[in-house]
Chains A and B, each alone.
Chain A
Amino acid sequence: MIRALLSALALAVAMAAGPAHAVRPDEMLSDPGLEARARAVGSELRCLVCRNQSIDDSDADLAHDLRVLVRERIKGGDSDDQVVQYIRSRYGDFVLLRPPFELGTLLLWGGPLLILLFGGVALARFYLRGQASAPPPLSTEERRRLATVLGEGTEP
């Protein structure tokens, strides 16, 4: 019982520590503020070797080189945007994990909205037409015949 509790506790502590980073201690900047900026930049940059990891999460050699480069540029006084731009100008838009919003990516970002719009219009039209073509109310004669069929009225 105590063992189970202890393992649960260990697991909770491990999970609270957050996802494992590939950032090695010898890469880190001594200034925690600058290191935090480097982490923010690194988490936005794709490792081009493993493709679906950021350079902060990847153990690839190139990711290590890029992490060191990001920290060098930040220490050298670059803004976060300048660092990203520096790497983007060499590796292209694909290095950005979050695609930029520009003319070429308009369909990518606007696509879901477009589909929602089309779907909404189609749905609205479907229901509005349903209302418009509702059958006209029964006439007195029809009511009388209906009552007869249902056995509630008298035979004519």
Chain B
Amino acid sequence: MNRRGWIFLIPAAVFGLLAAGFYRGLGIDPSVLPSPLIDQPAPHFALAPLPGDKSGFSSADLLGHVSLVNTFASWCTPCRAEHRVLNALAHTRRVPIYGIDYKDKGDVALAWIAELGNPYTRIGADDGRVGIDWGVYGVPETFIVDRDGRIRYKHVGPLTEADVERTILPLVARLER
């Protein structure tokens, strides 16, 4: 090989870089978008209760303790699958779960809760505007808010038992320390 032998390594190096980049890309879920609200204070809001329900849900409820905020809707099929997981989490009493009922009409959510059980400490009815403030682009989305009212984590899509075990509970424990 002559002194320019290294030049043939360039395509190999470029291939290596591309392969590494693509390999990393395989692990990224394109349906999950990074939220600019992480580590930001949760938005200010005051949601009315569901029709016929007593308490609504407002940003003041989030102060002083770590909480889970879950957006759901009765028209959302993945939410139905997720509801069982939320019920189980509520049963452990590890962390209060607050519900934002996203764009439901009338009192359908109450019937939904009556059928599937109520894991929520408080539920607020949202016509979509508060959802936008939280950067919601598809229910269900779940947030973890620390005791200072800052959003610390966002989960897009239905929570599974594995998500709760591996991500939610460890983070809640860390934030409570």
Determine the distance from Cα of A91 to Cα of B138 in the docked complex, in whole angstroms. Answer: 12
Contact call A48/B137, Cβ cutoff below 8 A: yes
Contact call B137/A89, Cβ cutoff below 8 A: no
Chain B interface SS verdict (over half)? loop
Tell me which of B33, B103, B134 contacts A61 (CB under 8 A).
Answer: B103
Contact call A91/B135, Cβ cutoff below 8 A: yes
Q: Which residues of B109-167 have CB atoms within 8 Å of chain A's CB atoms?
A: 128-129, 132-135, 137-138
Given A49-B137, A61-B103, the answer on whether A90 and B37 have CB atoms closer than 8 Å is: yes
Q: Is B27 an interface residue (CB 8 A)?
A: no
Interface string of B19-40 (1 = CB under 8 A from A): 0000000000000011111000
Contact call A49/B135, Cβ cutoff below 8 A: no
Q: How many residues belonging to A are interface residues under a CB distance threshold of 8 Å?
A: 15
Contact call B36/A91, Cβ cutoff below 8 A: yes
Q: Which residues of A contact B129 (CB under 8 A)?
A: 65, 69
Chain A interface SS verdict (over half)? helix
Q: Which residues of A contact B128 (CB under 8 A)?
A: 61-62, 65
Which A residue's beta carbon lies closest to that of B36? A92
Q: Would you give the shortest CB distance from A23 to chain B, in whole angstroms?
A: 17
Report A's interface with B, CB cutoff 8 A: 48-49, 61-62, 65-66, 69, 87-94
Extra pairs beyond A48-B33, A48-B137 (14, CB < 8 Å): A49-B138, A61-B128, A62-B132, A62-B137, A62-B138, A65-B128, A65-B132, A69-B132, A89-B36, A90-B37, A91-B36, A92-B34, A94-B33, A94-B34
